[in-house]
Amino acid sequence: MFGKKPKTESHATLDITTEPGVKNEANNYYDPNLAIEQPYQYDDLNVVCPPHTTERRLMTKIDFRVIPFLCILYLLAFLDRVNIANARSFGLVKDLNLKKVEYNTALTIFFVPYIIFEIPSNIFMKKLSPRVWLSGCMFMFGLAAICQGLVKNYAGLLATRFFLGLFEAGMFPGCFYLIGMWYKRSEAQRRYSFFFSSTTLAGAFGGLLASAIGKMDGMRGFQGWRWIFILEGVLTCVVALLFFFMIPSFPEDATWLSSEEREYVKARLQADQGLSAAERKITLRDVGRVFKDYKVLLGGVMYFGLIVPAYGYAFFAPQIISTFKYSPIQTQLRSVPPWACAFGFAMIIAFLSDYTRHRFLFTIAPLSVAIAGFGILITVHDNVNLQYAALFLVAMGCYSAMPVIVCWFNMNLGGHHRRAVGTAWQVGFGNIGGIIATYAFLEEDAPYYKNGYSICLAWLCLSAASCCVYAVAVVRQNRQRDKSPTDLGLTEYEKTELGDMSPDYRYLL
């Protein structure tokens, strides 16, 4: 599905039972150092493939086992998270007698446990295995979604949103962490973007589904908005039971690969990123060491700035579209096309980013598209077609930049420990922006929402500025390491513990 055509030239190869230790200028990490006498199949890191397969065939096999299940998992998670916006169009606020900013507070309470439990979730996932942890969390947030459709008052809505956030905390960073442990840095972006585009598919699917479910209003004595929560929650729970047997584990534990294939996957990742120390538990000391690197803090700010407009759009797009004087059903249907275009644009950006092996410019370009969209919305108030077109730019820009930012930062972290902690930190800290987003679009600001658009523009500019600073930081460190001696007498164990802080490591711009 995403595989690259393998190379068949004769080169030195990597004995997968040994530890490499020589820097390679081609991939900026380790160089295989054992020669062989007969030709074998090689990948672009000169790592020998198992004789019964090729790199392309094996990566296609991995793609079909890893990516689809994680995409469905996150699609349902995001759907259960943002379908409250669809429910609002069918009378949730009126039926629960919500006043002033109580609806916004219900959105906010989701992020409290979601932020706090990001890092612990990744640590638990490594301990329990992705199959157990992710499927268990999935079943529980599906159950919380069902309960959301049964609430009778504001307090009940707050309680269910809190537990929804608690059980969804491990989904996004856990899936990103897992994908990062299967793919090389140069091939990861299109997998990340395809996975992340589950959010755009969820937005489109949610609009279509809500327009259909909303017609069940009054059936069995339940309002239409209740059926949205109940049916989508039931779907999540059923899929979670099936996924207990289907979600992939880390490469070291993948029983659906042969021993030769597992060793090859580990060897190519080792050649690209260094040793992972997968066998060692993550300690509090590991967590503390990660935060001594200022680039980790920048990674959180990059994502933080983009979360505000992204969630602002996800939670309030139906509300904004409704100001164009459409009916509730038409509002849901017209929320679908921007999400669909966002999916296509995100995949184009991802393929170009992987093809050029570059990330920075592919964060700035989509961010500029989103800024243009909000610029139109904040200034144009008498042209419905142009305002609607601006929503396309917002969705395309925000949801194309987000996976690139997360992939860029995540794949620049070396080893299980730094990646598990760093990814959870970026997503956890970034989602503080979700709290800001929930109060950006208030009812009294309708129909122009100038405050909301201004807030989104400001945070987009912060995200762009942070990306620029991070780019300068990685280029500066690469140049410093190029000028410094790399033979510092470090053992392979010490290099493994350092991860991307090893003098042999080079960051991807």
More confident residue, 424 or 338: 338
- Single pTM value for the model: 0.73
Residues above pLDDT 90, as percent of the chain: 27
pLDDT in tens, 34-69: 333 334 454 555 677 787 878 888 888 888 888 888
- Domains (ranges, CATH) in the chain? 55-501 (1.20.1250.20)
Distance CA 103, CA 91 (A): 12
The continuous run of DSSP H or E covering 423 comes out as: helix 415-430
Return mean pLDDT, the chain. 81
Give the residue-averaged pLDDT of 82-99.
85
| For residues 486-503, average pLDDT | 66
Max mean pLDDT among 10-24, 212-226, 454-468 falls in: 454-468
The pLDDT value given to residue 483? 83
Q: Give pLDDT tens digits for 136-158.
A: 999 999 999 999 999 999 999 99
pLDDT value at residue 118:
79
- Which three-class secondary structure string do you get for 164-227? HHHHHCCHHHHHHHHHHCCCCHHHHHHHHHHHHCHHHHHHHHHHHHHHHHHHHCCHHHCCHHHH
